[in-house]
């Protein structure tokens, strides 16, 4: 119990001397929580984490990035400290572009700078193909395009059944199963073929677990169980290629070598070819490491991102700083 408290007590400061403020941005079903890393008086880069992670995924990377532009790292709905979607609804990769627009509207951003990892990168890319004129640049870390699945009907059927099961579970009054903290860390570290170092998984866990009322030495996951249901929405490769031709902003794409494509990898390279023809600059780099290398070894990607920002962080950021009503 005390160990968990010690970790969360430091949530307003970084060990690398870059401060942040906890924020809550109102949305129609509740709020989107996150961390606004300084500076606070300028429009920041909106940053989205991966599936079942939290904004803590960027805790070790952000302090290494150029400090003349802020970073707003949010917890996606159902993750971390953000509100869950209403009962009966399902999570899909169209929820998150809508979230981006909610946030941009509330904070009155004239342009949007986006950075994401995995699902967060995919969501940022989808937003960009929908609103290409809104985005001044896009950084995608180990994820870009939504997956295209052939013969997706049986998979969608399973997803709907999973959704109904987890939706009922999420409405239960009973506390979820709880485990010792070390067990939870080992379970998280084992995901995605040992993707997250056990030494760093607490950055994600801090916002996704709570102490058990029955046994204070154990913890349970607080994220929405509906997130376990597989996505039932499918993008056609043809539509994604058409969308890629709408992307005009500069893009930085980072691919970790030990992470898979989760579909026919040729689909991605077709998309990349399209992006190179339309984007002002579509950079693509391979970096050694697993799917969470930006957390495990942020030093390996910081120069790529900082060099990109040095070139493309050129839009006016005077409008869109932090609002007092969102500070926790």
Closest CA to 73 of 104, 100, 34: 34
Q: What is the 3-state secondary structure (H, E, C) of 104-130?
A: HHHHCCCCEEEEEECHHHHHHHHHHHH
Residues identified as active-site: 118
| Residues linked to residue 260 through DSSP beta bridges, in sequence order | none
Q: Work out the end-to-end distance of the chain between its first and last CA atoms, rounded to an integer number of angstroms.
A: 23
* CA–CA dist 166, 224 (Å, integer): 8
Helix axes 237-244, 119-130, angle to 10 degrees: 70
The CA-atom distances, in angstroms, between 248 and each of 28, 156, 251, 298, 313 are 31, 33, 9, 28, 15
Token pair listed for 250: 């500069």
- Rg value, the chain, Cα: 19
| Residues linked to residue 284 through DSSP beta bridges, in sequence order | 253
Phi, psi for 284 (deg, rounded to 5): -135, 125
| Residues linked to residue 27 through DSSP beta bridges, in sequence order | 30
Does the N-terminal peptide bond of residue 39 adopt cis geometry, omega within 30 degrees of 0? yes
The CA-atom distances, in angstroms, between 224 and each of 83, 87, 171, 271, 315 are 9, 10, 10, 32, 37
């Amino acid at each position: 119990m005390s160990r968990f408290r010690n970790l969360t007590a430091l949530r307003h400061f970084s060990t690398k001397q870059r401060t942040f403020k906890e924020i809550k941005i109102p949305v129609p079903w509740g709020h989107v929580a996150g961390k606004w890393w300084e500076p606070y008086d300028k429009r920041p880069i909106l940053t989205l984490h991966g599936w079942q992670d939290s904004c803590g995924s960027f805790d070790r990377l952000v302090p290494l990035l150029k400090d003349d532009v802020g970073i707003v790292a949010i917890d996606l709905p159902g993750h971390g400290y953000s509100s869950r979607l209403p009962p009966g609804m399902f999570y899909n990769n169209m929820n998150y572009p809508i979230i981006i627009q909610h946030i941009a509207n509330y904070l009155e951003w004239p342009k949007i700078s986006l950075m994401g990892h995995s699902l967060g990168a995919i969501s940022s890319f989808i937003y960009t193909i929908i609103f290409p004129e809104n985005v001044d640049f896009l950084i995608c870390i180990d994820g870009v395009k939504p997956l295209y699945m052939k013969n997706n009907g049986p998979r969608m059927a399973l997803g709907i059944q999973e959704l109904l099961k987890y939706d009922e579970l999420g409405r239960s009054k009973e506390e979820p199963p709880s485990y010792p903290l070390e067990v939870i860390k080992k379970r998280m570290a084992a995901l995605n073929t040992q993707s997250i170092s056990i030494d760093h998984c607490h950055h994600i866990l801090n916002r996704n677990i709570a102490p058990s009322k029955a046994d204070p030495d154990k913890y349970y996951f607080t994220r929405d169980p509906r997130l376990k249901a597989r996505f039932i929405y499918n993008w056609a490769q043809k539509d994604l290629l058409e969308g890629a031709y709408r992307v005009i902003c500069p893009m930085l794409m980072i691919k970790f070598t030990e992470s898979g494509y989760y579909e026919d990898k040729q689909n991605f390279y077709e998309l990349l070819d399209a992006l190179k023809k339309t984007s002002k600059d579509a950079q693509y780099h391979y970096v050694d490491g697993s799917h969470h290398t930006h957390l495990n070894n942020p030093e390996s990607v910081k120069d790529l991102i900082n060099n990109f920002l040095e070139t493309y962080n050129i839009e006016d950021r005077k409008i869109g700083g932090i609002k007092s009503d969102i500070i926790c």
